[in-house]
Amino acid sequence: MHHIARKPLRSLALAVAAMALAFGTLAHAQETPNVGGTLTVGYHNSLQVLDVMGTTSTRDEIWQLVFEPLITMDANLEPAGILAESWTVSDDGLSWTFALRHGVTFHDGQPMTAADVEASFERLMTIGARRGEFDRITSMEVVDDHTVVFHTDGPWGALPETFSMPSGAFVVHPAWVVEELGEDLMGIVQVDLMIGTGPYQVVEVVPGERLVFERFDFYTQPTGEPSGWAGPRGQYVDRIEVLPITDEATRSLALFAGEVHIADQLPPEDVARMDADPGTVGIYREPGRRTYLKFNDKQGPFTDLNLRRAVQVAIDLEEAMFTQGPEEAWRVNPFLRFQEGQWMWDGELLEEYFPADLERGRQLVAESDYDGEVIRYLTRTDLTDVFRPTTVILELLRDLGLNAELLVVDGATFSSIRRDLSTWEIKSAGGGSVVPLSYLDASGIDRNGEDWAWVTEEWHEQLDIIATDLDDENRREAVLELNRIAAEAAGEIWLGDIFSVVGVRSNVQNAPDWHYMRLFDVWLD
């Protein structure tokens, strides 16, 4: 067990001012939040480390309590400032200037300056799990204590979005912490190095048992209105205890027994039970996960476009997604994985390419070169969202007249054999709904880092517009075109989005239904 000794802060007056800002400006219009108490959270992840940059396995809801980025996401998944109060891009698109907020204090009592941003960026580019996504940045310049400039090798319209992504995020540490960590990938395992600028500070870590956070009384609130992770961050409870409970059934039991106030990622089947229990409430959060099918178009029968299109036009997406539970728990969405708040969808594409027409599918099979060879359908048992549609998809393949066999493996085996394209013809998979631009790239790349056969030069041209163009309208049009290219190629079928279920005790107020679970802004009656 580690306990942290904080350096003395600068003055009682600062503490009083910070407390006034924390509570006085955050009263929600509908009611005045209570202040005080301990919020307990049953969390699905073991949370062995709290190093945001070095690994994407650090859970976003947890690190947001402690660490802050220059830019975060608002409720519409648009970039919004947190440590940066504003940013501008030069006319040539090669320099991005960020104005840092004044008066921001680290948990050790020291002010945050541009020197800390510089040191943190250097660490990101040395050990960051997502450092490859920042390769377009050629240098960073410190102008003064509250101004930094990032220079790029070409126009990069996606820079604010890349900065705002929570997984493996670019957060700001004190420069002395960066120096202490060196190039250690998993360096932040000691509580006295878990220092950020966030609304709560780490006070105790017992690996595998609990993480304990307490209100940081000298927190300087961002301006604006609360929106997603943007705007002021309410510090209503005194203490937050996160209990890693990796078993879904155990998390559910802990909620109903009153052992935790919040339990995340519960099965949709629990919602009716929670609704019937006056002590609990079930909440469907905006989609955070997706499930899809990928065709092997490099070898085997699905090298034939007609055969891929046969599955595409015949599949009933609603039937496949119905396996995910109650209708409130999912929605059909066959388009490329990307933030819905930033990019429009096209209903005409859905109607044109996914008509759920089995007879048309059989006709395309007849027009293909398929001669009855075995089609191995690879799936995994460890991800429920991925596995649930398996029976429906297998039945569809056989209804089309395909000689389909199910290949069910565990997660470790799935990860190892999916790279070997001689072992499968179609596979199921899943992933996050809120992802960086690199996942658009990933849609066209196999697990060996090579383009799928269906990927064309036009695909890459549209990706380049999405990444580089400084005009958002041009980028939106490119995403629509990318969806059409993907639909024409029928290289994959995104089935839909899954809404995560969070269970809360009835005395928990302002529990979010957003993509991510916000643990700040919550209070207890």
Residue 338 pLDDT > 70, yes or no?
no
- What's the rounded Cα separation, in Å, for the pair 159 and 389? 36
Per-residue pLDDT of 16-50, as tens digits, reads: 334 444 443 344 444 689 999 999 999 987 766 56
Q: Which one has a higher pLDDT value, 246 or 251?
A: 251
Nearest 5°: phi and psi at 292?
A: -155, 170
- What's the rounded Cα separation, in Å, for the pair 514 and 501? 11
- What's the rounded Cα separation, in Å, for the pair 68 and 100? 12
Q: HSE on the CB side for 90, CA within 13 Å? A: 12
Residue 130 pLDDT > 90, yes or no?
no
Give the per-residue pLDDT at 6: 33
435: left (phi over 0), alpha (psi -120 to 50) or beta: beta
Percent of the chain whose predicted confidence (pLDDT) is above 90: 60
Domains in the chain: ranges and CATH: 2-261+507-524 (3.40.190.10), 287-500 (3.10.105.10)
Residue 183 pLDDT > 90, yes or no?
no
Least confident window among 100-109, 219-228, 283-292: 283-292
Residue 438 pLDDT > 70, yes or no?
no
Work out the angle at residue 302's Cα, subtended by the Cα atoms of residues 298 and 308, and round it to the nearest 5 degrees.
Answer: 125
Tell me what the pLDDT averaged over the chain comes to: 87
Residue 299 pLDDT > 70, yes or no?
yes
DSSP secondary structure code for residue 407 in this structure: E
- What's the rounded Cα separation, in Å, for the pair 394 and 373? 15
Average pLDDT over residues 215-237: 94
114 and 122 in contact (C-beta within 8 Å)? Answer: no
Give the pLDDT band of residue 412 (cuts 50, 70, 90). Answer: confident
Give the per-residue pLDDT at 436: 61
192 and 505 in contact (C-beta within 8 Å)? Answer: no
Strand partners, 482: none
Tell which residue, 258, 277, 221, has the closest CA to residue 42. 258
Residue 58 pLDDT > 80, yes or no?
no
Residue 337 pLDDT > 80, yes or no?
no
156 and 468 in contact (C-beta within 8 Å)? Answer: yes
Per-residue pLDDT of 255-268, as tens digits, reads: 999 999 999 989 88
